[in-house]
A = this chain, B = another copy of it.
Amino acid sequence: MRHRLLALSLSAGLLAASAHADEGMWLPAQLPQIADRLREAGFEGDPAALADLTRPPLNAVVKVGGGTGAFVSGEGLLLTNHHVAFGVIQYNSSPERDLIGEGFIAATRADELPANPDFRVRVTTGFDKVTDRILAGARGKAGRAYYDAIDAAEKALVAECEQAPATRCSVANMHYGTDFYLVRQLELRDVRLVYAPPEAIGNYGDEVDNFMWPRHSGDFTLLRAYVGPDGQPAPYSEDNVPYVPPAHLQVATDAVQAGDFAMLAGYPGRTYRHRMASEFASQVEWTLPERVELYAGLIETIEAAIGDDADAKVKYASTLAGLENGLKRAQGELDGLRRSNAVATRRADEQAMLDWLAGQPEAAAIRADIAAAQAVIDATDATRERDQLLGAIGRFPHLLGSAMRLQRLALERGKPDAQRESGYQQRDEALIEGGLKQVQRRYAERVEKALLVDLLTQYIALPQAQRVPEFDTVFGTTPGQVRARVDALYAGTTLDEEAARLRWFNAAPADVAAADDPLLRAAAALQPAILRLEAEDKTHAGELLRLRPAYMRALIGYRESRGEAVYPDANSTLRVSYGRVSTMDPRDGVRYLPLTTVAGIVEKHTGVAPFDAPQPLLDAIARGDFGSTADPELGTQTVNLLTNLDTTGGNSGSPVLDAHGRVIGLNFDSNWEAVSASWKFDPRYKRAIHVDMRYMRWLMAKVYPAPQLLAEMGLPAE
Chain A interface residues toward B at CB < 8 A: 213-216, 585, 587-593, 595-597, 599-600, 603, 640
Give Cα A591 to B597, complex, Å. Answer: 13
Question: Which residue in B585, B587, B588, B596 is a CB contact (below 8 Å) of A588?
Answer: B596
| A572 smallest CB distance to B (angstroms) | 31
Minimum CB–CB distance from A584 to chain B (whole Å) comes to 10
Cβ A590 vs Cβ B589 within 8 A: no
Is the Cβ of B589 less than 8 Å from the Cβ of A596? yes
A589 to B590, CA, bound (A): 11
**Min CB distance, A620 to chain B, in Å?**
17
Q: In the complex the two chains form, is A590's CB within 8 Å of B592's CB?
A: yes
Check B588–A603 contact: CB distance below 8 A.
Answer: yes
| CA of A588 to CA of B216, assembled, Å | 10
With CB as the reference atom, state the residue of chain B lying closest to A588: B600
CA distance A214 to B213 in the complex (A): 18
Question: Which B residue sits closest to A213, measured CB to CB?
Answer: B589
How close is A602's CB to chain B, nearest CB, in angstroms?
A: 9
* Interchain nearest-CB distance for A642 vs B (Å): 8
> When the two chains form their complex, are residues A591 and B588 in contact, meaning their CB atoms are under 8 A apart?
no
The distance from the CB of A430 to the nearest CB of chain B, in whole angstroms, is: 44
Complex: chain B residue closest to A600, CB-CB: B588
CA distance A593 to B587 in the complex (A): 10
20 more CB-based (< 8 A) A-B contacts, given A587-B603, A588-B597: A213-B589, A214-B587, A214-B589, A214-B590, A215-B589, A216-B588, A585-B593, A587-B600, A588-B596, A588-B600, A588-B603, A589-B592, A589-B596, A589-B597, A589-B600, A590-B590, A590-B591, A590-B592, A590-B593, A591-B592
Q: Given the complex of chains A and B, what is the CA–CA distance between A216 and B588 in angstroms?
A: 10
Q: Can you sample 14 A-B contacts with CB below 8 Å?
A: A213-B589, A214-B587, A214-B589, A214-B590, A215-B589, A216-B588, A585-B593, A587-B603, A588-B599, A588-B600, A588-B603, A589-B593, A589-B597, A591-B591
- CB contacts (< 8 Å) of A600 on chain B: these are 587-589
Which of A588, A591, A592 is packed against the most chain B CB atoms within 10 Å? A588
How far does the Cβ of A30 sit from chain B's closest Cβ, in whole Å? 34
CB contacts (< 8 Å) of A213 on chain B: these are 589
Expressed in whole angstroms, the Cα–Cα distance for A548 and B403 within the complex equals 85
A672 CB to nearest B CB, Å: 14
CB-based nearest B residue for A602: B588
Shortest Cβ-Cβ A-B pairs, 8 listed: A214-B589, A588-B600, A589-B596, A591-B591, A588-B599, A589-B593, A588-B596, A588-B597
A590 to B640, CA, bound (A): 13
Can you name the residue of chain B whose Cβ is closest to the Cβ of A640?
A: B589
Min CB distance, A16 to chain B, in Å?
A: 27
Min C-beta distance of A77 to chain B, whole Å: 30
Q: List the B side residues contacting A587 at CB < 8 Å.
A: 214, 600, 603
